[in-house]
Chains A and B, each alone.
Chain A
C-alpha cells in the first residue's frame, strides 16, 4: 500500500512558481529523503504535504484518503521541525501529550504512549523539565518524541539535524535510522545535506528549482544519475566535470568522473599540477588543476603527494559518465 501519493502537485506564491508538477509515491514503511540545494522547494513540498500550505493544483493522498482540503491535524501526520518548535510554556511531558489531548485520547492511552516514546528516546529523566532547561540534542529528541506519541501514518522531518553540531548530528542520524527500523513507519525527511540523504534513505528524491530531477535508491542515483545535476549533487567530494574535448578533439560532451575513480596513473590521460592535498589518514584528497579545470582525486590510504607536484591522472573507461550540453546523461 502507498503511504503518500502526490499527483501533479503545483504550488505558486503569487507569480512565483515554486513547485512544478511533482509526482511522488511513498510506499508503506519507506524512508524517503527530499534533497536539493536551498530554494529548490523541498521544504515547501513538505509543508504542502503537511497541509501548512495549500497546493495550487494537483492531488495529495495520504493512505487512501485525498487530503487536499484536510487540516494538518486531521491528516494523520506528525512533523519534526528544524528549530524543534517546542512549546516553551509546557514541560516535556505536556509538550508530548498536547496533540493527544486535542484528539481526546484517554489518559491510559496517553500515559502508555508517553512511556513508550520516552523509553525509546531515553527521555525518562526529562519529562518534568521545560524546553529551556534542555540542551539542543535533548530538545531534538523531545521534538521527535512529540511526533512518535501520535503514531502517525506519516512522519515528516524538516531538516531536523541542521541545528546540531557535527558529532551530535551523526549520533542523531543513527538514532533516526534505528527509530525507523523500530517503528517501521513511513517517513519523509527533508535535507540539503547529501550525506544524510545517502545514509538514511530507502529512496531519494532529488529536487531542483521546484522540479523532481530523479527518484531512486541512494545507490541507483549514485551509480546511475539521470543528469549532470544529480551526478554533481550526490557524492562527496563532488563528481569532477571536464570537457571531453580534452581527450578527443571536437568532442562537445561533458565528461564526469567521481573523485574515487580518478587515480594517479603514469599512463593516465591527464597532465595535472597538484594544487592542494588533504591528508585524512584513511584517505588522501588530491586537488589538482588540469589546465584551467580543477579536479579532485580521492586516493585510498596515504600517499606521498605534495603541492606543486606534476602528476598524471587516469580513470577506467567504464567509470566515466558523459553529459550533453544541457546536462542530460548520454549512454
Chain B
C-alpha cells in the first residue's frame, strides 16, 4: 500500500504542492489555538498590548490558571463534561450500531421507511425541540442532572450514526455472518465480535463527528442543567465572561485546559480510523 502510493507520486512538484497546501491549512487551523495557548500564560496587560507576542520573563503569568483553579469547581465542571461526552458517545455508538445492523442485516416490512425516518434527524436540528425537551425533562424530573444532557446528545447523534454505520455494515460480507450463524454464534456475538471490529473505522468517524459538538455545547447545559453541581466546562467558563468585565486570563486558561481531553480522545479515535483490520477476512 505505502509502496504503491509512494510510486504514484514520484513527481516532486506534486509532493511539494500537496505538502505546501496541507501545511498551510494546518497553520491556519492551529493559529487560533496557538494564540489562546500563548495568551493564557501572559498578564492581562500584555494580552491586550501584544496579543501575538510569546510570553517572556516580563509578561509570563499564571494568574489565569490560578483564578480558574481557585474557582474550585473547575474540576467538577471538567468531570461533568467528560462524563457527558463519554457516556453520550458510548450510547450513540452502541444504539447507532445496533440500529444500523438491524437495518442492514434483516429483511422486514418497513425497513427502508424506518431507515429514512431515522436519517430524517440529520436534517432537523434538535434545538428546534428545545422547549418540548425542557418540558419533558421537567416532567421526568431529569432537569439539572447529567442524564438530561446524555439523553439529548444521544438523540442528537443517533441519526448520523445510523446513517453512516448502516452504509458500512452493508459492506460487511454476508458469508462471514452466515459462517458465524452456522458455527452457532448468537446474533449478538455476530454483531459484537464479527461486525463491529470490521466497521471500527466508521465507528471512529462517528465518534469524532459527535464528540466535538457535545464537548463544546453551551445551549443544552445552559437550559437543561445550569445548576452548580452539574455545570459543564463550557458553561462553567462563562462565569469569567461578564456583561461588563471579562477576565480574559481565566477564560483563556480555562479554554486551554478544555482542549486537552478532546485532543486525547481525538488521537485515540483517529488511530482507529486509520487502522483497518478487514484485510484477510474475505477476498
**A residues neighboring B (CB under 8 Å):** 47, 50-52, 71-74, 77-79, 81-89, 98-99, 102-103, 130-134, 136, 139, 146, 158, 163
Whether A52 lies near B184 (C-beta < 8 A) is no
CA distance A74 to B184 in the complex (A): 8
CA distance A79 to B180 in the complex (A): 10
Interface string of B158-202 (1 = CB under 8 A from A): 000000000000000101101111111100000001100110000
Chain B residues whose CB sits within 8 angstroms of the CB of A74 once the complex forms: 184
Interface string of B242-283 (1 = CB under 8 A from A): 000000000000000000000000000000000001111111
CA distance A83 to B183 in the complex (A): 16
Whether B283 lies near A163 (C-beta < 8 A) is yes
CA distance A89 to B185 in the complex (A): 15
With A88-B198, A89-B197, A103-B184: A131-B179 Cβ-Cβ less than 8 Å: no
CA distance A84 to B277 in the complex (A): 16
Whether B194 lies near A83 (C-beta < 8 A) is no
Which residue of the partner chain, among B178, B182, B278, contacts A88 with CB atoms under 8 Å? B278
Whether A88 lies near B184 (C-beta < 8 A) is no
With A83-B173, A87-B194: A133-B280 Cβ-Cβ less than 8 Å: yes
With A79-B182, A99-B184, A136-B283: A85-B176 Cβ-Cβ less than 8 Å: yes
Residue of A nearest to B282 (CB): A83
Whether B183 lies near A102 (C-beta < 8 A) is yes
CA distance A79 to B278 in the complex (A): 21
- 20 A/B residue pairs, CB under 8 Å, sorted by A: A50-B182, A72-B178, A72-B184, A73-B182, A77-B182, A81-B175, A81-B179, A83-B176, A84-B282, A85-B179, A85-B281, A87-B194, A88-B277, A89-B197, A98-B183, A99-B184, A103-B184, A130-B280, A134-B280, A163-B283
Residue among A52, A88, A163 having the largest count of chain B Cβ atoms under 10 Å: A88
Chain B residues whose CB sits within 8 angstroms of the CB of A88 once the complex forms: 197-198, 277-281
Chain A residues whose CB sits within 8 angstroms of the CB of B183 once the complex forms: 73, 98-99, 102, 146
Residue among B176, B184, B193 having the largest count of chain A Cβ atoms under 10 Å: B184
Whether A132 lies near B280 (C-beta < 8 A) is yes
Smallest CB–CB gap between A226 and chain B, Å?
Answer: 33
Chain B residues whose CB sits within 8 angstroms of the CB of A85 once the complex forms: 173, 175-176, 178-179, 281-282
Whether B181 lies near A52 (C-beta < 8 A) is yes
Q: How many residues of B contact A (CB 8 A)?
A: 22
Residue of A nearest to B185 (CB): A102
Smallest CB–CB gap between B176 and chain A, Å?
Answer: 5
CA distance A84 to B279 in the complex (A): 13
Whether B283 lies near A83 (C-beta < 8 A) is yes
CA distance A47 to B181 in the complex (A): 12
Chain B residues whose CB sits within 8 angstroms of the CB of A136 once the complex forms: 283
Which residue of the partner chain, among B184, B194, B280, contacts A73 with CB atoms under 8 Å? B184
With A85-B175, A130-B280, A133-B280: A99-B197 Cβ-Cβ less than 8 Å: no
Chain B residues whose CB sits within 8 angstroms of the CB of A86 once the complex forms: 179, 280-282
Residue of A nearest to B184 (CB): A73
CA distance A123 to B244 in the complex (A): 77
Whether B182 lies near A78 (C-beta < 8 A) is yes
Whether A81 lies near B280 (C-beta < 8 A) is no
Smallest CB–CB gap between B277 and chain A, Å?
Answer: 6
Residue of B nearest to A103 (CB): B184
Whether A52 lies near B283 (C-beta < 8 A) is no
Residue among B173, B180, B198, B281 having the largest count of chain A Cβ atoms under 10 Å: B281
Whether B277 lies near A99 (C-beta < 8 A) is no
3 A-B pairs with least C-beta separation: A132-B280, A73-B184, A99-B183
With A72-B181, A99-B183, A99-B184: A87-B176 Cβ-Cβ less than 8 Å: yes
Chain B residues whose CB sits within 8 angstroms of the CB of A79 once the complex forms: 178-179, 182
CA distance A131 to B281 in the complex (A): 7
CA distance A73 to B278 in the complex (A): 25
Residue of A nearest to B283 (CB): A163
Whether A102 lies near B283 (C-beta < 8 A) is no
Residue of A nearest to B179 (CB): A85
CA distance A132 to B180 in the complex (A): 18
CA distance A136 to B280 in the complex (A): 9
